[in-house]
Amino acid sequence: MMELNWVAGNHCIADVNECMRKVQTLKYAEEACYNGALVIKAFSSGLDIGTCNWTISSSKSRIAYLSSSIFYSLHAMSFDYHSLRGNDLVLFSDFSSMMDTDSSGGLCASQSSMTIDSMNLSDENTSEATINALANTNESSDAMDKLAFICSCAVDSVGNGGSVLIPFGRVGIMLQLLEQMFASLESSSLEVPVFIVSSVAEEMLDFTNVVPEWLCKERQEKLYSGEALFGHAKQIKAKKLHLFPAIHSADLVKMWREPCIVFTPHWSLRLGPVVHLLQRWCQDPNSLLVMEHGTGAELALLPFSPMAMKVLRCSFLSGIMMQELQPLLDFLQPNVILFPKDLPAAHLSSIGSSFSLHPYSENEIMNVPNTRNDHEIKLDKKLALQLLPRMIGEGPIAIARLRGKLELNHGEHILRSCRESLDSSQSHMQLHWGSLDPNLLEKALQKKGIDGSWSANTGANDGIHVFRIANPSSALIEIHAMYTIISSADETLSSLLVEAVSSVLEGI
């Protein structure tokens, strides 16, 4: 029933709200602590406004979750790879290379007489080793070129009396496209209205202009110099950009004028105002539909075919480029990399062989190889000074009894001294090893003023020594290879004997 409701779209809002209530929001580089043991942090990934990579660290391991990241963005805060450095494990989950099977990125037009050369994204030889070079690849100018190209196509269509329909996917790209579109319209001195039809358009556009902390440096500087973060605010004021919550809004009917440029959801072409507009324009050869590449375009367009409308399919960089991969991983210095099993071989080979690589696949649980066996904990100096280390034999090893209180605070274990004295219940922990030397024991006993003699008859005589004590009272020590038995009727004498035995044995 529940699922049916979901499918039918009923009760969804309540569920979504309820779900969002449970979500704890974080800022970039804010530390969230789970159960005292795990420290979780998010860092900008550069893909879009607010997208992030994660690190999870505990006293035993540090993991970085690397999602689709873009080194240099024209709108969102750029990829903060510095903060991902020094993790033991990188969980590589940038699937962008697996999404498009043909050339990684580029523009292509189809189903129209218009042919557009695919613009190849990859710069010929950018496999520079240094990390600085990574950020300087011409990702941004490339993206700008693409935007300019889309705009010029749009301007052409509008100039021919056709309308342009842009079902948007990524918010950041849409905002940039808006800016670019107005620039193009202005330069070609065309006066066509631009509409955004979406129930959240207004809120979203307002919001994007008040979140400088999520944006790239250039846009932050804009705020500082008193400009709006994105250009759309100006256009709304100038009444060049019109926002409507729905296609049936009364104002929309009043304002509607064709040709026009419309941004509206949904990129699947199955939901929202885009369906109606597409019906209206699909037979107009002058109109243009701008689609994102790799969304199953043929299938999406099927209900509207045969179409006379031009379709421009574009793709934007949506992850780490192949040639960036190795320098990035070299910089991050993980011990172990987990990668998707279906990662293209070319990508895999570009990761390099200096890491321990482990493939993961869907619906399969894998055991993450341990990179560290031990926890890293802190020992309070006060406690460290209380330690009484003793050397073991001649070797370089010394051992000391450790007694304290272990605190787990914000992903860090700290061992502190506790008030209880060291003596209480010490015997509880006593540990001895090695074999007991009868001669040394005899000397130790003599020192304590305990007299006795070795029993001549030691039964089976298989390495068992029995020492009979006569003074101060009768008692017996039976030494076996790996254990010693003390027998005495008197508790005091017995503990003296234990002391003597302990002093001869290696122990702690």
Partner 1 sequence: MSGPTLSLGAGQEVGKSCVVVSIGGKRIMFDCGLHMGHNDHRRYPDFSRISKSGDFDSALTCVVITHFHLDHIGALVYFTEVCGYNGPIYMTILQPNVWTLFTLLSMAKLCSSLSEKKPYLQYPTKALAPLMLEDSRKLMEEEQFSNDQIKNCMKKVTAVDLKQTVQVDDELQIRAYYAGHFYYALERWKYLSPILVLELSEVMKLTRIKNNPFAKAGAHPIFKLLRLFPVGIAKNTISEVLGAAMFYAKVGDSAIVYTGDYNMTPDRHLGAAQIDPLELDLLITDISDGSVTFYAVLQNDSFMGYTAVLNNGSFMGFAYKELCMLMDDYWERMNLKVPIYFSAVSEFDRSFINASGPCVLFASPGMISGGFSLEVFKQWAPSRKESYCTSGIMEAYAVMAVIVKYSMIFRYCVAGTVGHQLKSDKSTRVHVDKETQVDVRCQIHHLSFSPHTDEKGIMDLIKFLSPKHVMLVHGELPKMVKLKEKIESDLGIKCCYPANNSTVEIASTQSVKINATDSFVQKCLRPNFELSNTVTVSNSDSSSQQCNAALLRRTEGSRVAEGILVMDKTKRAKAVDRDELLPLLGADEHLIGFAYCCPVSLSSSENAQPRKSPTELSNSTPLEEPQHHSHSGSLIHQLFLRLSSKLESEVNIQEFSDRLELESLRVSICSNSNCPYRIESCSEGKSVIFLCCSWSLADEELGWRVIAILRDSDFSTTAFSVN
Cα(68)–Cα(240) distance, integer angstroms: 35
Q: Which CB atom, from 144 or from 204, has the smaller least distance to partner 1?
A: 204
Q: Which two tokens stand for residue 103?
A: 């050339």
Q: How far is the CB of 393 from partner 1 (least distance, A)?
A: 9
Q: Dump strand ranges (E) for 216-364.
A: 241-244, 261-263, 288-292, 310-314, 336-340, 356-360
246 contacts partner 1 (rule: CB under 8 A): no
Listed in sequence order, the DSSP H helices in 227-316 are: 232-237, 250-255, 274-281, 297-301
Closer CB to partner 1, 58 or 97, in the complex: 58
Determine the Cα–Cα distance for residues 171 and 75; give it in Å rounded to an integer.
10
What letter represents residue 36's amino acid? G
Binders of partner 1 among 357-416, rule CB under 8 A?
373-381, 384, 387, 389, 392, 396-410, 413-415
Query: 3-state class of 90 per DSSP?
Result: strand
Rule CB under 8 A: is residue 335 a binding residue for partner 1?
Answer: no
Span 474-503, contacts to partner 1 by CB under 8 A? 474-476, 478, 482-489, 491, 494-495, 498, 501-502
Contact with partner 1 (CB under 8 A): which of 427, 446, 453, 471?
A: 427
CB of 11 to partner 1, least distance (A): 19
**Residue of the chain from 223, 255, 357, 368 that contacts partner 1 (CB under 8 A):** 223
Q: Give the separation between CA 70 and CA 135, rounded to whole angstroms.
A: 9
Q: How far is residue 445's CA from residue 416's CA, in Å, rounded to a whole number?
A: 38
Closer to partner 1 by Cβ: residue 160 or 474:
474
Site for partner 1 in 49-108 (CB under 8 A): 59-60, 83
- What is the footprint of partner 1 within residues 130-169 (CB under 8 A)? none
Chosen residue from 299, 366, 431, 440 binding partner 1 by CB under 8 A? 431
The correct pick among 432, 437, 438, 503 for binding partner 1 (CB under 8 A) is 432
Contact between 38 and partner 1 by CB under 8 A: the answer reads no
Given candidates 15, 102, 342, 420, which one binds partner 1 under the rule CB under 8 A? Answer: 420
399 Cβ contact partners less than 8 Å away, ≥ 6 residues apart: 389, 390, 392, 508
Is 278 in contact with 301 (CB distance < 8 Å)?
no
**Between residues 148 and 210, which has the closer beta carbon with respect to partner 1?**
210
Residue 396: asked if its preceding bond is cis (omega within 30°), the reply is no
Choose between 299 and 402: whose C-beta lies nearer to partner 1: 402
- Which residue in the set 24, 35, 101, 353 belongs to the binding site for partner 1 (CB under 8 A)? 35
DSSP state of 434: S
CB 368 within 8 A of CB 89: yes
Number of residues that bind partner 1 (CB under 8 A): 100
Residues in region 191-220 near partner 1 by CB under 8 A: 202-203, 206-207, 209-213, 220
Q: Which is nearer to partner 1, 145 or 203 (CB)?
A: 203
Assess 248 for contact with partner 1 (CB under 8 A): no
Q: Which is nearer to partner 1, 35 or 363 (CB)?
A: 35
CB of 389 vs partner 1, minimal distance in Å: 6
Nearer to partner 1, 189 or 373 (CB): 373
Write out the two tokens for 373: 């066996």
Q: How far apart are CA 334 and CA 487, in angstroms?
A: 59
**CA end-to-end span of the chain, whole Å?**
65
472 within 8 A of 493, measured Cβ to Cβ: yes
Residue written as tokens 């043929």?
298
